[in-house]
């Protein structure tokens, strides 16, 4: 999966779930300060992404450190690279 495909999949999933404007989906956008999400949304975001990428995310400790969209793109990109190695 390319970086562009990851960005597209993440943005589409989050825009749909949280009714966000595509124009707000800037890589530096902070989930809480810029996109207006809260702790409940953070849990639901993991569920939505697990369904979008068909992989488990919540068992990974690093998920809790993700603060921006760019953090999320990086994290999923690393996951897909790791999965490809296996």
Partner 1 sequence: MPTVNPFKKRVVITGAGAVSPYGAGSHLLAENMLEGKSSVTFNGELAAYPEMTSHVSSTVPNDLDFSYIPRHFRRSMSKMSLYAAAAVKEALNKAGYETVPEGTALFLGSTISSMETWVNFSDKYKKRELETVKTTVVFQVMNHSPLANVAQAFDIKGPGFGNSCACATGLVNIGMAYQFIASGLIDKALCGGTDEYHPIMTACFAIMNAASSRYNDAPQKASRPFDEGRCGIVCSEGCGMLFIESLESALKRNAEIYGEILGFGTNTETKSISHPSTECITECMKLALKNASLSAQDIDMINAHATGTAAGDAEESKAIAAVFGSNKHVNSLKGHIGHTMAASGSLELIAMLDMMSKNRIAPTLNLDNIDPECAGIKHILQPADLKINAFLKNSFALGGTNCSLIVRRYE
Closer to partner 1 by Cβ: residue 16 or 81:
16
Question: In 49-78, which positions are buried (b, 16+ CB within 10 angstroms) versus exposed (e)?
Answer: beebbeeebeeeeebeebebbebbbebbbe
The binding site for partner 1 (CB under 8 A) comprises 18-19, 36, 38, 40, 43-44, 47, 50-51, 58
Closer to partner 1 by Cβ: residue 47 or 67:
47
How many degrees, rounded to 5, is the angle at CA 65 between CA 63 and CA 67?
105
Min dist CB 13 to partner 1, Å, is 13
Closer to partner 1 by Cβ: residue 40 or 84:
40
């Amino acid at each position: 999966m390319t970086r562009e495909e990851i960005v597209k999949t993440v943005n589409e999933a989050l825009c749909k779930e949280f009714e966000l404007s595509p124009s707000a989906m800037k890589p530096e956008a902070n989930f809480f300060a810029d996109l207006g999400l809260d702790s409940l949304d953070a849990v639901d975001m993991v569920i939505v992404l697990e369904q979008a990428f068909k992989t488990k995310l919540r068992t990974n400790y690093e998920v809790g450190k993700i603060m921006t969209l760019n953090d999320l793109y990086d994290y999923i990109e690393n996951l897909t690279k790791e999965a490809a190695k296996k």
